[in-house]
Each structure stands twice: as structure tokens, then as C-alpha cells.
Structure 1
Amino acid sequence: MTPSESAADEAHPSVVAVIVAYNRKDLLVEALAALRAQTLQPTAVVVIDNHSDDGSAETAREAWPEIDVVRLARNTGGAGGFATGIAVAIARHEPDWVWVMDDDTIPTPTALEELLKAADRPGVVLAGSRVVWTDGLDHPMNTPRRKPFVSRQEATDATELGVLPVRSSSFVSMLVSAARVREAGLPIADYFIWNDDFEFSTRMLRRGRGLYVPSSVVVHKTTARADTDADPGARFFFEVRNKIWLMVFSHGLNPIEKLVYIGATLLRWGRTIRRSHQRRFLLTQLRRGLIAGFGSRPRLNADALSDLGAVTEAVVRVEAPARRGT
């Protein structure tokens, strides 16, 4: 079944799947094949080629000619890729839901069907899959954060459904309400990498319910089954800068939550540096990140993505309601 054929099935809400790809064309083909094999097909598929140099865009078109492939003029990072992908999905296809993932995310056949089944509840604006590594064990990089202070009724409902109320979710298989994105805005492109999905999902969930859906399973084919405390190298700069931006400028967390996460973050940074084999280098990245985090702020997406032509227009169009509400 093709996405266009699935669109004719009015029994289900419309879903656009978004894959952000960068120089992993073999995995991209595998991810696309997994989308074709879904028991419930997406209405459309958008592939954002983040300026790959391995022919990812051409490979995607050959593998599935009718999908919407967008090759960006430059690498916008994961954050920019998801911001542009969600914008294109909503502006061009007007779905009820957007299902986002990286090109190394391989959904099992019932992944989308299980997400939609769980999300079909009042107030739910986001649902995330169980993410496993190639050995079938839960991937520590993509562990959702439980929602604190859940009411007894919400906890009971979640238990009966076999889901878990969450406060954040990962871009490795996240189903998000298009209407909620229009209200609250896209991922922040200037984050480039790291913490972009945490900031985005917590912002979506300030007004709405989020669920972790264990029955929806995807395989995250990273090179290793490592968690966020693994030695990050130069990327530690983005972890530090973006976490400061999140705590200072984002509306995703309330003040009490920010205090809790600041404490958890400081402990994680200390643990990362202590375990690293390149401590001096990480301390340099820590200093750079602190200076950048406190000395700058993320730009509006319309400015950060202003050079992308029709993609920029999609970003501006989708975020217009959120900008009017600020």
C-alpha cells in the first residue's frame, strides 16, 4: 500500500512520517522499507536530506519515488532537520499527526499502529515508542522521563492501557499532534544537536498529555548501545550550551522542574567528565558551552533557517500561529 492509498482510509487520522537523513543511505533505505511494511501506513512520507554527500536524497527517491524528498542547501543539524521536516509535513500535507525519526531508526511493523491506538485519548498530544538497540535491549540513549505528580486517575488509565505518562520524549520515533505544533512552535533549529527533542517535547507537553508506548517498538541502530553519559567529545559543547539555553529561555519546564533538572544536569556533567579519557578537552568544551550559553540565545527559526527558500516559507507558515500567541 502506498501513502496515497492509505490517505483514502478515513477510519484513521492522517499521519505524515518524517525521516531526517545525513550520510547513512543504507540505513535510510532500511528505514523506508520499514515504513512500507507498517500495518497502518502513513498518509505521506517526508525525507529531509541534511545536505548529505553520499547520495541519500537520490537513494530515497529511487527507493520510493512518490515520497516527498527535500534536500537542504546546508547541514542544519538534527534540530534544523526536524524543524524543517515537521514544517514541510504540516505545510504541504496538513496531517493530524507527524511521526518523526532519524535515518537509523527502524520501526517494527506495528510501531505506528500502536502509537495511534495509544494516542487516541482526550488531551494526548504526543506519544513515543519503546526504543531498543540491535540486541533487543532498551536503548539507554532514548529513555523517556516519567511525568511527576501524576493523578491517581491518570495513573490508573495508563496502567490499564499499558502505557506510561511522560514529561519528555525522544525524536527516535515521536508521534506529535500537528495542531499542538502550530500552537507551540517547531523544534529550535539553533540547538543544532542535543537537547532539541527534550526542549521540544517538554514544550509540547506544557499543555497536553504525553505517553510512552511499550507496544510500539523501534530499533535504533547506533554504532553502540551507549547512554548520554558516554564520552561525547566535541559535542559536549552543544550539551552545555543547549542545556543553558533550555533552562534560561525555554518555556518547556516550569521553575520547579528547572531547579530539579539543573541539579540532575550538574551531576551528569560531573559524571561525564570524571569518566572521560579526555578530561582536559571536555573541560574546554564545558567552558566554551558556558560562555556561549550565557552570552547568546537561540534565534527564531525564521532567521536561523532564512536561506532555505520554500522550506523557510513552510517554517514561517507553520509557526505563524505560535508567533502571534507570544
Structure 2
Amino acid sequence: MDRVCAVIVTYNRKELLRECLQAVLSQTRPPDHVLVVDNASTDGTREMLKEEFPQVEVLALPENQGGAGGFHEGMKRAYEAGYDWIWVMDDDAFPRADALALLLERAGEAKVLVPLLQSSEGHRYGAGYWKGWYKEDNLEALTHTPLRVEIFAFVGPLFHREVVKRVGFPRKEFFIWFDDLEYALRIRKQGIKVLLVPGSVVVHDNIVRRKKVSFLGRSKLRADAPAWKLYYGVRNWGWTILWTPYAKPRMRSLVAYIARNFREGLGDLVYEQDRWTRVTLRLLGMWHALTGKLGRIDLKNR
């Protein structure tokens, strides 16, 4: 039987990690091994793991390498240990009890199997296609029939080791955000089939957080993310378009990138209290994308 290693990346969220581990370890088909990549947490995460989850392997990184670095190191460890499948997620992902079993039922059909992401309110999201930009499929209408997709999040995808052998590991230089998009585009470039398995559900709220903002009596919902995270998203998305051979059609991708940042930048000016910080970091992200600068950046004084 194929052996599965679950890789969970965490940083200073031990309560969420506990819930995530409980969900992973109570699967109807549990993973053969669970690896927690701890991004140098300071909230007692390692002590909690030692006391409550002694069966779990902990890869303690010397410094916070972000989600991208955590997935890179965790998938590398699992691959080198010889596992057939690698099941990856953040610490705020809560797979339903049969999530892994339902993915493995389709193991003969594709080498990348992704679950359906669902918010606590039941909203479905998280997978779609590349049209020069990410276009999400209409997941609300899905039945239990698997669907071929191209883009997915690092929230419960199951990778066969052959995929890792062909495309490598996630880019740790991204630090956070868009590491999953870049990895999915690499897989797409190789022509590797990605199958969404709707019956396999992972509850995850983080991506769909929104806040209500107002201007001159008009209100709208905007993504609720701090400015420093915005920088990495803008930079890594732009870098993927400009510096890789697989974000095609490139011109359409670049136009969509510029248009989206122009529109969102105007929104920053109109709706956000820290508007100038956001605009500055958005422009810095675009500049670093253009110049090819990656890695973790000190943004405190910007």
C-alpha cells in the first residue's frame, strides 16, 4: 500500500495547530506519518507538540521562513524519506474525517489530487484555471464528480512523489503568498493532471476573510490582509509572470497584473486608513517583481 506523509506548516498558532492535528490524526485512512514544520514559533508550540502529540515528527526551523519556506523544507523531508504521497496544509486547515481516503480513492486517475475548500459558512472555493490570471471555477454547483483543474491552494493537496521529482519543491524565496500559484503553474507546464475531488472537504476560512469599508456613504467588502502581506503577494505574482516560462499568455498575464494592482491601489487610497503604507508597499512589490528581487524583506521602516 502507498505510504502517505502529511506535512503541516505552523507559526505561532498552537490552538489552530492542535485542531488541525486532531483532524489529521482522526482520518478514516490516517496518514502513515505526520510531519509538523515549525517556523520558529515562540508561543509554546513545540512544548504542546511534545506533550500532546508525541507521535508527530517536528521539523524545527531556526528562523521563520514563511509558508513557502515551510512547505519547501517539509516536502523535501517527506520526499527524501521515500513517501509515495505528500499531503500538505497550513495549521488552519481542518480536513473532514474522510478527506484523505476520498483523495486516495482517485489515486489511479491523477498524480495531484486536491480537496474542495469550504468556509465554516459552507462557501466553496480554492480551485480553478489559468487564463493569464486565476479564474475560479463555479464550485458551488459541483456534485461528487471529480473535476480537472489547474490552480489550487496549498490547503490539502495530495502530491505523488513523481510530481515532486519532475517539478521540484515550492520556492522558499517567496516567503509567503503565491507559492501555491507558482507551483501549480509549474505542474501545468509539465502537463500533469490535477483532479479536484469534491467529496473530499477541507474547512478553511483564511482565504475568504473580508472586511467592510466605507467612503462617502458607500460600502464594500475588501480583502482583510495587513500591508506587509500585500507586498509579498504583489511581488510574487509579478515575479511569476515576468521571470518564469509558464505564466502564459505572458502579455495577457502582465496586463491583468497591472490592471488589478491599479484598481486595488485606488481602493487602498479610498478605503484604507494606512493608505500610503499600502500604496508604497504595493509599488515596492511591483518594483521588486520587475527587478527579480525575492526573499524575506525587512519592511518595518517602509
3-state DSSP of counterpart to 1:131: strand
**CA distances 1:146-192 after superposition (whole Å, capped 9, x unpaired):** 367xxxxxxxxxx9971221111100111112121122110000100
Contact 1:229 1:271 (8 Å CA) reproduced: no
CA–CA separation in structure 2 for the residues paired with 1:259 and 1:58: 50
Alignment of 1:66-105 (within 5 A): 66-92=55-81, 94-105=82-93
Between Structure 1 and Structure 2, the one with more strand by share is: 2
CA RMSD of aligned residues (A): 2.4
Q: 1:252 to 1:229 in 2, by over 3 A?
A: farther
Partner of 1:239: 233
CA–CA separation in structure 1 for the residues paired with 2:24 and 2:116: 16
Contact 1:79 1:188 (8 Å CA) reproduced: yes
Tell me, yes or no, if structure 1 residue 132 matches structure 2 residue 111: no
CA–CA separation in structure 2 for the residues paired with 1:63 and 1:29: 9
Q: 1:104 to 1:115 in 2, by over 3 A?
A: same
Contact 2:7 2:87 (8 Å CA) reproduced: yes
CA–CA separation in structure 1 for the residues paired with 2:79 and 2:32: 12
**CA distances 1:114-171 after superposition (whole Å, capped 9, x unpaired):** 11223321xx2212111112222225xxx212367xxxxxxxxxx9971221111100
> Comparing 258-267 with 231-240, which one deviates more in the overlay?
258-267
Partner of 1:54: 43
Tell me, yes or no, if structure 1 residue 282 matches structure 2 residue 278: yes
Alignment of 1:105-144 (within 5 A): 105-121=93-109, 124-139=110-125, 143-144=126-127
CA–CA separation in structure 2 for the residues paired with 1:263 and 1:295: 18
Please report how far the alpha carbon of residue 229 of structure 1 lies from its aligned counterpart in structure 2 after TM superposition.
Answer: 5.7
Q: TM-score, normalised to structure 1's length?
A: 0.76
3-state DSSP of counterpart to 1:145: strand
Query: Alignment partner for residue 261 of structure 1, among 238, 243, 253?
Result: 253
Partner of 1:174: 157
Please report how far the alpha carbon of residue 32 of structure 1 lies from its aligned counterpart in structure 2 after TM superposition.
Answer: 0.7
CA–CA separation in structure 2 for the residues paired with 1:125 and 1:280: 44
Please report how far the alpha carbon of residue 24 of structure 1 lies from its aligned counterpart in structure 2 after TM superposition.
Answer: 0.7
Please report how far the alpha carbon of residue 223 of structure 1 lies from its aligned counterpart in structure 2 after TM superposition.
Answer: 9.3
3-state DSSP of counterpart to 2:27: coil
Structure 2 residue runs without a partner (length 5+): 132-141, 212-220, 297-302
Contact 2:209 2:224 (8 Å CA) reproduced: no
Structure 1 residue runs without a partner (length 5+): 1-9, 149-158, 305-326
Structure 1 letter corresponding to 2:228: A
Alignment of 1:7-18 (within 5 A): 10=1, 13-18=2-7
Please report how far the alpha carbon of residue 231 of structure 1 lies from its aligned counterpart in structure 2 after TM superposition.
Answer: 4.6
Please report how far the alpha carbon of residue 109 of structure 1 lies from its aligned counterpart in structure 2 after TM superposition.
Answer: 0.4
CA–CA separation in structure 1 for the residues paired with 2:263 and 2:195: 29
Between Structure 1 and Structure 2, the one with more helix by share is: 1
Alignment of 1:304-323 (within 5 A): none
**CA distances 1:224-268 after superposition (whole Å, capped 9, x unpaired):** 633996153222211221112111222443x32x33333333333
Please report how far the alpha carbon of residue 298 of structure 1 lies from its aligned counterpart in structure 2 after TM superposition.
Answer: 4.3
**CA distances 1:298-322 after superposition (whole Å, capped 9, x unpaired):** 47xxxx9xxxxxxxxxxxxxxxxxx
- Percent identity between the aligned chains? 33
